[in-house]
Structure 1
């Protein structure tokens, strides 16, 4: 509700008072208990009144967005199915926000609850990174530009690094975060989805299941994570004491081992990516806000240019959307002095159009019934099969969670 206040909406809608007023006229608040089926019956009655008064709809559709704790998931699903589904040939669609469990068993438990009441075509498991412009552009970049696809394999690629950095800590959500940690919060979903799009084969079509089938094939090929290839840590207090460390947050247990930073190396054991490390790094209270994919190519062969810097293709997801290539060039002038420069394709310099927010795009796709930007159940199942074993080892203390002062993190 705070985000539906006129000042907040004016900032989003660039001060257009008429647009703000029109939007607010469609916003209504209904209060009920999650675990009371009759509350959902009362909600349905309220919806039916508003639907009957609308001149825009022949059949009213209902979309439910579940951004709720897993502990109340079953009650809400059952209440919607029993009492609040759309009527008169309208569709009912369910948007499910992460966390989708915290390991394989809890995911199966949640997924079984959903499957008991909703069909797969009614379920939209949302990962907002799939709605980001540059993440969507990965398939176009790969399969729509012939110059890249022949190089997109272990013969030419040295490594792939997928990074996520935030310059702030867990302020305001420490209670949630400590139960899940940075690996479950970011790596197992956002970064893994990007890895799938970078690593997958060309789908047969743009159909949702064709795309998701190829992502599943990648997940099935990921080998078990070697704990020697995992680093986890927590941010500590700043040296001057002005910024508190993670363990000083009142909602965090003083003996918590939950990581706020993690790095892990993954390998896709197939013909295309044999022995190419995919490194995923994510953390809070770091030096900047950034999400990017960095594909580093192998060294140029001898004999002309020994020891040259490697070429890189960088896809910047946020904050500045861009694609750039780092390549070697000769410096102007006499002699043969080489330098590495960037060919930069920046969105803000090439497009005038406003880029839709990720959630804006994804909610629109739900209204269209388009699943390609959403996570299928078997995708999540394979994702948890990858992450659950090494998460269990971390939680049993098989890997030390180190602490560094905030100033060190932010260098």
Structure 2
């Protein structure tokens, strides 16, 4: 897939960005704040104009107030920046499938481009999947600049709901837009700690040398949210936690943790290695999973998932899942990769936890295993749990850590939001942190059999767990059977250990 790729063209000036679905929550909460963040850092191309497009008729001033409602402006300087930014933004209303609507949009774009030397057009589709193809078709028909410029399309997930629907979507997009023009966005690939995984692995020999089945006992990639569906139960009922975060976000993290060293930092070399890894992953079955659904909290203050009025009382929707992924290659054969994700749990956390094998017995007995933890959010950090002598006269070993916590080490350095990083990558024409067509296909091949089995077999009922708990009760046994050992670390607390040791 990496051969005969067109050279990368960076948008450096004269750029028109059109955000479709501009009246929706995604655009208001993520897309426009990300564009504003780039604007404040002077990272947008010079002479950039931004157009919001949606079906709703909205007055320009109301639109500007709406998109700026989530801007962070703690200083007078940033307040002025916000005013300058919204002055770049205009709004056009129209349908998503009508020629006349897109001809009207074209007229607006061309009026902006009258003073431009080049035609650089970036289309951001913050719209439901049902209108991806109509919008993409109309854009190609009416707004693609052809040989006189460059156009790019950012497409938001979900990219289908199973293998067949994903292939159908791709079949519709492929004749219209080349793979070089399509940027499938998975915002986890824009998170700072996720972007650091490859440099951390491959630029540190002492890390890379032990990154294999000979040293690692198991790897967990965990996603925890402390809240439920909060009125979105009807939507979530058709999606479930596996489609929502595991087939995409957590699988992308797994790729970066497990892939081989690419031959270069070129986007296609990186994505080639991700595809190779995914092809080595065994398709999932019910033998590899735990499924859960949150019930009411033990104190009765938080509702069960099925208490949501938009959810059927007999819903089998999955709000928690643990999946055992098996990778059949030379590096990882026999090492359990466990993906865990759940709503209404005890805390908010996304992390990678790599547990190493036991140290040799004899000199020491029952030492806790070493662990390397990459905390993606919150409190971005990398820390290694290690054994060390207790300070003082004692010869006892205790667990401590080597700790790189970002807000301590890099004080005052602004970490950009994920969407900022990814939109900037698209402006630069860099595909490294976007999902390629063949990558998407093989990822759905892994998950589709399991998803269909869950949906079609009415005997599969998720385990109920209390709102606010750590996880379903069956999880510890599931992890233990997959070589995870929870050590005796009562004296250890990250990030600081204090008190009587």
What is the match of residue 409 of structure 2?
350
**How many Å separate the matches in 2 of 1:399 and 1:312?**
34
Alpha-carbon distance between aligned partners in 2 of 1:34 and 1:243, rounded to the nearest angstrom: 40
Q: In structure 1, what is the Cα distance between the partners aligned to 2:461 and 2:220? A: 23
- 1:409 is displaced (CA, Å) by 4.9
CA distance in 2, matches of 1:130, 1:353: 20
> 1:205 aligns to what SS in structure 2?
coil
1:265-317: CA deviations, max 9, x gaps?
A: 00110010010000000011111111000000000012112211000000000
- TM alignment of 1:9-88, pairs within 5 A: 11-12=72-73, 14-15=75-76, 16-52=78-114, 54=115, 57-86=116-145
Corresponding residue for 1:385? 445
Shift in Å at residue 239 of structure 1?
3.8
> Which secondary structure state, in structure 1, belongs to the residue aligned with residue 153 of structure 2?
strand
Structure 1 unaligned regions, length at least 5 = none
Look up the SS of the partner of 1:232 in the other structure: strand
Query: How far is 1:217 from its partner?
Result: 0.6
TM-aligned CA deviation for residue 84 of structure 1: 1.9
Gap change, CA 1:228 and 1:62, over 3 Å in 2: same
1:330 is displaced (CA, Å) by 0.4
Normalized per residue, the structure richer in helix is: 1
Q: Matched residues in 2 for 1:141 and 1:303: separation?
A: 33
Q: How high is the TM-score relative to the length of structure 2?
A: 0.78
| CA-based RMSD | 1.8
State the shift of 1:324 in Å: 0.2
How much has 1:172 moved relative to structure 2?
4.5
Cα distance in 2 for partners of 1:73, 1:342 equals: 47
Task: Give the alignment of 1:328-347 within 5 angstroms.
Answer: 328-347=387-406
Question: In structure 1, how many angstroms separate the alpha carbons of the residues matched to 2:314 and 2:232?
Answer: 18
Deviation larger for 99-108 or 84-93? 84-93
SS state of the match for residue 205, structure 2?
coil
Is the counterpart of residue 264 in structure 1 residue 323 in structure 2? Answer: yes
Partner residue of 2:464? Answer: 403
Residue 391 (structure 1) shift:
0.8
Question: Cα distance 1:162–1:235, how it changes in 2: closer, same or farther (>3 A)?
Answer: same
Partner Cα separation in structure 2 for residue 280 and residue 150 of structure 1: 24
Quote the offset at 1:30 in angstroms: 1.3
Is residue 9–residue 20 contact of structure 1 (8 Å, CA) maintained in 2? no
Q: 1 CA distance for matches of 2:75 and 2:269?
A: 39
State whether residues 262 and 282 of structure 1, in contact with CA within 8 Å, keep that contact through their aligned partners in structure 2. Answer: yes
Change (3 A) 1:410 1:153: closer
- TM-aligned CA distance change 1:355 to 1:178, over 3 Å: same
State the distance in 1 between where 2:139 and 2:210 align: 49
Instruction: Give the aligned partner of residue 478 of structure 2.
Output: none
> What displacement does 1:339 show?
0.1
Do the aligned residues in 1 keep the contact of 2:220 with 2:354 (CA within 8 Å)?
yes
- 1:59–1:88 contact (8 Å) kept in structure 2: no
Query: Cα 1:329–1:255, aligned 2, differ >3 Å: closer, same or farther?
Result: same
Q: Find the counterpart in structure 1 of residue 488 from structure 2.
A: none
Secondary structure of 2:85's aligned partner: helix
After superposition, where does 1:244-393 map in structure 2 within 5 Å?
A: 244-351=303-410, 352-393=412-453
C-alpha separation in 1, matches of 2:74 and 2:98: 37
Q: Structure 2 CA distance, aligned partners of 1:64 and 1:189?
A: 22
CA 1:112–1:88 in structure 2 vs 1: closer, same or farther (change >3 Å)? Answer: closer
Question: Per-residue deviation at 1:68?
Answer: 2.1
Q: In structure 2, what is the Cα distance between the partners aligned to 1:388 and 1:410?
A: 24
Structure 2 contact 465–471 (Cα < 8 Å) conserved: no
Inter-CA distance 37–172: structure 2 relative to 1 (3 Å threshold)? farther
TM-aligned CA deviation for residue 62 of structure 1: 1.4
Deviates more, 1:158-167 or 1:88-97: 88-97
Asked whether the equivalents of residues 159 and 169 of structure 2 are also in contact (C-alpha less than 8 Å), the reply is: yes
Indicate conservation of the 8 Å contact 2:190/2:433, yes or no.
Answer: yes
2:476 equivalent in structure 1: none
What is the CA–CA distance in structure 2 between the aligned matches of 1:240 and 1:273, rounded to whole Å?
43
Instruction: Please give the TM-score of this superposition, normalised by the length of structure 1.
Output: 0.95
Q: Give distance in 2, aligned partners of 1:263 and 1:168.
A: 18
SS in 1 for 2:469: helix
Match of 1:147 in 2: 206
- Give, in whole Å, the separation in 1 of the partners of 2:71 and 2:329: 50
**2:258–2:277: 8 Å Cα contact kept in structure 1?**
yes
Distance in structure 1 (CA, Å) of the matches to 2:404 and 2:445: 37
